[in-house]
């Protein structure tokens, strides 16, 4: 701890859970315990002097907004003072007792699942996000909206060697949004050439889903509001559908089915809209898969129109998917680090998180916001 003893740890806390209020505070630095590492959210060394210039980043996910404002109306909210965030990229600066890997200086990602037991029956099946002892970054466990984050050494994602420092900020959103959509695509049982619908395509998850789907050889029909058309097209979407451009849902569904020659093989719903789900189940191709990623807000309701008769007659599958496991993380971060996928992001300051949440609520954000934690 000697090298960082004089440092304070600035963090953003939820100051009034149930609302979007946040506050920037200073905390003492915590030493990592056994099996833990202390991660500083990314140091950029500027060549040629190799002078360390601190650049500290965490992505902002819609889930952070939902947790802070209790948009899902869960009975037990996070407590006042919760440090949110779960899309962090950083550098290991201290190893706790017994930690030999990752080593000091390793670049690592901190994910939504902060730690998992790795031995329960879900972990053994690769379903670490359902681990009975999982800790969640930014939800009842300190998250990545802080300059220094204590993390489980065996659960951080070690980044591939050789990623240029100035590309590290763009990898932060891969730690949740990237993993989630990459794993979601795996659930779609897709083959090259297949059509995939991405609903909520201009958001954090959605614009990455377009790119992962394209990298896997699929064709993409992107659905979102008209303002996100350009972002989706730039991300590689073959077709864009303005979700408010139709008077009836049935017209939108017919359009998607016609555009894709009978309907997409899989639909990834990356928005918190119930309507997006009821549309997707209608426009899917026969034997297709609806992959549920976005979590609707307010009172939870079943997917409208998903009658058993429809599911049976068209042999549809509906699957929920929560982030991904360590292997999914390694695979999708590798693809992003090699340039197959690039996050579109804008940097905002720590004291702007409340405004970011409000912008998110109004659907104003293109791609992702990454918080500059300096
Ligand atoms: O593990 C998981 N399943 C997981 C991981 C991370 C995030 C789930 N999520 C959930 C979030 O909690 C949220 O519900 O996925 C959803 C999307 O997260 P995000 O990408 O971080 O949200 P965003 O950046 O706000 O993007 C949402 C997009 O949806 C569009 C918006 O315009 C925006 O571009 N959208 C909306 I709101 N209504 C729509 C509709 N009816 C719509 N797009 C199409 N049709
Ligand atoms: Zn997330």
Nearest CA to ligand 1 atom 12: 63
Pocket lining: 63 vs ligand 1, CB cutoff 6 Å: yes
What gap in Å lies between CA 31 and CA 18, rounded to an integer? 31
Pocket lining: 11 vs ligand 1, CB cutoff 6 Å: no
Nearest CA to ligand 1 atom 33: 203
Give the mean pLDDT of the chain. Answer: 94
Mean pLDDT of 251-264: 98
Taking a C-beta distance cutoff of 8 angstroms, is the pair 89, 109 a contact? yes
* 174-215 per-position pLDDT tens digit: 999 999 999 999 999 999 999 999 999 999 999 999 999 999
183 Cβ neighbours under 8 A, 6+ residues apart: 321, 323, 324, 325, 328, 332
Which domains are delineated in the chain?
A: 8-176+324-372 (3.90.180.10), 178-320 (3.40.50.720)
* pLDDT of 51: 46
Closest residue by Cα to residue 363 from 224, 233, 267, 242: 224
pLDDT at 328 over 90: yes
* pLDDT of 53: 54
pLDDT at 8 over 90: no
* 50-91 per-position pLDDT tens digit: 444 555 789 999 999 999 999 999 999 999 999 999 999 999
Pocket lining: 199 vs ligand 1, CB cutoff 6 Å: yes
Nearest CA to ligand 1 atom 41: 276
Q: Which of 128, 182, 205 to mutate to test the pocket of ligand 1 (most atoms within 8 A of CB)?
A: 205
Burial readout 34-47 (b: 16 or more C-beta within 10 A, e: otherwise):
eebbbbbbbbbeee
* pLDDT of 295: 97
What gap in Å lies between CA 350 and CA 339, rounded to an integer? 28
């Amino acid at each position: 701890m000697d090298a960082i003893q004089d440092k304070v740890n600035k963090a953003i806390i939820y100051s009034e859970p149930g609302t979007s209020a946040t506050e920037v505070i200073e905390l003492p630095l915590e030493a990592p315990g056994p099996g833990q590492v202390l991660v500083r959210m990314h140091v950029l060394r500027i060549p040629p002097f190799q002078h360390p210039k601190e650049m500290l980043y965490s992505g902002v996910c819609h889930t952070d907004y939902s947790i802070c404002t209790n948009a899902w109306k869960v009975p037990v909210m996070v407590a006042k003072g919760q440090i949110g965030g779960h899309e962090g990229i950083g550098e290991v600066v201290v190893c706790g007792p017994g930690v030999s890997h990752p080593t000091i200086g390793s670049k690592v990602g901190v994910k939504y699942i902060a730690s998992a037991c790795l031995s329960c029956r879900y972990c053994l099946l690769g379903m670490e996000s359902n681990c009975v002892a999982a800790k969640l970054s930014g939800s009842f466990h300190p998250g990545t909206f802080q300059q220094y984050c204590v993390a489980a050494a065996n659960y951080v994602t070690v980044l591939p060697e050789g990623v240029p420092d100035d590309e590290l900020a763009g990898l932060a959103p891969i730690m949740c949004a990237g993993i989630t959509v990459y794993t979601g695509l795996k659930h779609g049982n897709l083959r090259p050439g297949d059509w995939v619908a991405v609903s909520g395509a201009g958001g954090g998850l959605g614009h990455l889903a377009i790119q992962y789907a394209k990298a896997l050889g699929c064709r993409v029909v992107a659905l979102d509001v008209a303002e996100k058309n350009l972002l989706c097209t730039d991300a590689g979407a073959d077709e864009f559908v303005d979700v408010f451009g139709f008077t009836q849902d049935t017209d939108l569904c017919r359009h998607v089915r016609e555009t894709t020659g009978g309907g997409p093989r899989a639909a990834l719903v990356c928005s918190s809209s119930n309507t997006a789900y009821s549309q997707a189940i209608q426009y899917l191709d026969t034997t297709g898969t609806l992959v549920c990623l976005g979590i609707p807000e307010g009172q939870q309701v079943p997917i409208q129109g998903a009658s058993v008769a429809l599911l049976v007659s068209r042999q549809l599958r509906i699957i929920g998917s929560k982030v991904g496991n360590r292997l999914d993380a390694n695979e999708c971060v590798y693809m992003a680090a090699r340039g197959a996928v690039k996050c579109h992001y804008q940097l905002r300051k720590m004291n702007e998180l409340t405004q970011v949440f409000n912008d998110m609520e109004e659907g104003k954000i293109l791609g992702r916001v990454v918080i500059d934690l300096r």
